[in-house]
Amino acid sequence: HEVIRLFILLNICRSSSCPNSNKGDAGSTGSRGPQGPKGDKGECGKSGPKGDIGPSGSPGEKGHEGERGQTGKRGPKGYAGPPGVRGAPGLKGDSGVYGKMGHPGKHGPSGLPGRKGEKGQKGDYTGVEGIPGMNGQQGEKGEPGNKGEKGDLGPAGVMGPLGPKGNPGSKGARGASGKKGSRGIKGSKGDNSKVRRSAFSAGLSKSFPPPNIPIKFDKILYNDQEDYNPSTGKFNCSIPGAYVFAYHMTIRGRPARISIVAQNKKIVKTRETLYGQEIDQASFLIILKLNAGDQVWLEVGRDWNGIYVSAEDDSIFTGFLFQNVHESQY
């Protein structure tokens, strides 16, 4: 490098000091001098233009498997693929746990009526009460049966009400004059008021009355004193004394248990056992002592309300004053 620098300086001197001299012949190449010290780092040159893309190199050998990267975020849901080929049926699984009972379904349409079955044997127990059937058409009147044998004499009945006063008898023969008796004690002043009365009679207009409440006999036959209330079915005592109460009931299709209620307690309980479409009658009579303000009515029991009425059959409740308190004192 020193030789090169000297050669450059020599040429500069020649050109500057001897502008008009002729150029001499080139000397022989000197021997290579020793390597000079490393020069200072030059300034960074500007980036050259981007070269053309070179041809693709041949594929390199497969590198070693790299470490597993971190799990990436879940991508969006892809479109549903076409349905696959139906597989073969699987084996029968174990029985599942019973699910909760579902809500009751709507009533389905009524099926066609089945054929009438044969009449079964009479069961040992009373079945659940059925819905009353519609009144059938009245059948033709049958021929009168043969007169039955005279029955045994029944027990003596309850004494009936006092009958009306009879006609005066014929005048008898005059008897012998008796001795004059002593003067009697002066009697109390008599009651000139009218005899007080209380009576009613009413019929039922609807069959099978509701149980455990007063039966409303709403078809009034007699109720001049209005002591019976058809809207409540109760008789209200306005005159203290002894009263006669009676009922006559038609029973059909189911049994009947009838109670007479007085002073808020069941005084008498009777029943009539009947099933099917048979018809029977039930009657009862009783005398009760009542105070003013007492109430009397009839009731039927649950599932024992077979009281029936129709155009040909009646059910009636009756009551009347037999003897008031003032009459019983004489």
Range with top average pLDDT, 91-100, 273-282, 316-325: 316-325
Task: Quote the distance between the C-alpha of residue 135 and its chain's center.
Answer: 31
- Residue with tokens 């303000």, as numbered in its chain: 293
- Residue with tokens 């009657």, as numbered in its chain: 283
Task: Quote the distance between the C-alpha of residue 36 and its chain's center.
Answer: 117
The C-alpha angle with vertex 268 and arms to 264 and 274, in degrees rounded to 5, equals 125
Q: What is the DSSP letter of 15?
A: H
Domain 195-311, what architecture? Sandwich (2.60)
Are 296 and 259 in contact by the 8 Å Cβ rule? The answer is no
Residue 329 has pLDDT above 70, yes or no: no
Query: What would the two tokens of residue 124 be?
Result: 């040992």
Distance CA 217, CA 228 (A): 10
Which pLDDT belongs to residue 126? 44
Q: What is the mean pLDDT of the chain?
A: 76
In b/e form, how buried is each residue of 16-54, taking b as 16+ CB within 10 angstroms?
eeeeeeeeeeeeeeeeeeeeeeeeeeeeeeeeeeeeeee
Q: What is the pLDDT of residues 104-147, one digit of tens each?
A: 657 656 656 656 656 655 544 444 454 554 555 565 665 665 66
Residue 264 has pLDDT above 80, yes or no: yes
Distance CA 258, CA 271 (A): 6
Identify the burial level of 180 via C-beta atoms within 10 angstroms of its C-beta, where 0-12 means exposed, 13-18 middle and 19 or more buried.
exposed
Identify the burial level of 235 via C-beta atoms within 10 angstroms of its C-beta, where 0-12 means exposed, 13-18 middle and 19 or more buried.
buried
Are 285 and 158 in contact by the 8 Å Cβ rule? The answer is yes
Which pLDDT belongs to residue 217? 96
Q: What is the pLDDT of residues 109-118, one digit of tens each?
A: 665 665 665 6
